[in-house]
Amino acid sequence: MAEAQVPQQVGGAGWLRRRQRGPRGRIEIGDPFLARLFRIYIPVCFFVLVTLFPFYWMLITSIKSDTELLDFNQLPIFVRQPTLKNYEHLFTQTFFPHWALNTAIVAVVSTTISLFCSILAGYSLGRLRFRGANWIGWAIFVTYLVPPTLLFLGMAKLIQVFVLYNNLWSLILTYPTFLIPFCTWLLIGYFKGIPRELEESALVDGATRIQAMVRIAIPLALPGILSAGMFAFTLSWNEYLYSLIFMNDPISKTIPVGVTQDLIRGDEFFWGELMAAALLGSIPVAMLYSFFVDYFVAGMTAGAVKG
């Protein structure tokens, strides 16, 4: 039997070609390697290099000695004599373990509270029909745009009244003031994108509004909830202003405040310890995004498959 003939495709940069393999004359059409090299591999490698270079710089700086850090006669992107003294100093001479624990507790608890409130608010504003819903949504968005520098004076007065200075609850209760508006605004769009017919069918079958929300709306809005949770956790983990004002005890500080206050003394910068703390402080957020990116993509396509 004669081999099947496929007309040559011409167009664009001429990257499409035909290739015959096997005794049966199977034809495969795809990009040649050179085209994929310049169109995919080189740009991807470039962006990966740009993205990972700050982590590499923090790593090599954290394992350099003070003498090597101040030696300008060698290339700064290499390490001649790596050392772990900066990490040893960070864990033994500072309260970094306590700062990391405080930051994790505040970020997890404040994110949980904010997500719970944002899911309820986003569902009510995105799914329920009542007068003034659009105006309330815009008001929430405007609230998020208010800078924290205009709010911390009133927050500080409330913290003083409730005697919460140097207490983690001062941060747990103040962080939702900027997390809830952001998460709510993000979730409104996700809940609006869910077909109303799904919930209406559940209500006709006897489900309550709470059951329809928990069993139908929330699973379908899971990608948005995960996105809001990741952004809320990141904002909580990196927050600086409220932690600077409400936490004066060295053992009660969070990583952003503790690192900048204890490792920067006047014009003296402990670069090795600073980079070690910055690297260790960025690992949880990087792991969070790396872990949840699969669930985020899976959640986006799960609703398109029946079964």
DSSP state letters, 45-57? HHHHHHHHHHHHH
- Which CATH number fits the domain that encloses residue 127? 1.10.3720.10
- Residue at 12 is within a domain: no
- Residue at 274 is within a domain: yes
Give the pLDDT confidence score for residue 31 in this predicted structure: 65
pLDDT at residue 251 above 60?
yes
For residues 168 and 202, state if they share a domain.
yes
The mean pLDDT of 183-192, rounded to a whole number, is 88
Look at strands 264-265 and 26-30 and give their pairing. unpaired
Q: Specify the pTM.
A: 0.80
Mean pLDDT lowest among 59-68, 92-101, 124-133, 153-162: 124-133
- Residue at 3 is within a domain: no
Q: What total number of domains does the chain contain?
A: 2
Domain extent at residue 57: 33-83
For residues 137 and 38, state if they share a domain.
no
For residues 62 and 173, state if they share a domain.
no
For residues 48 and 99, state if they share a domain.
no
Element (H, E) at 204: helix 196-204
For residues 74 and 98, state if they share a domain.
no
In the three-class reduction of DSSP (H, G, I as helix; E, B as strand; rest coil), residue 30 is classed as strand
pLDDT band at 297 (very low <50, low <70, confident <90, very high): low
- Residue at 286 is within a domain: yes
Give the pLDDT confidence score for residue 252 in this predicted structure: 92
- Residue at 1 is within a domain: no
For residues 79 and 162, state if they share a domain.
no
- Residue at 4 is within a domain: no
- Residue at 28 is within a domain: no
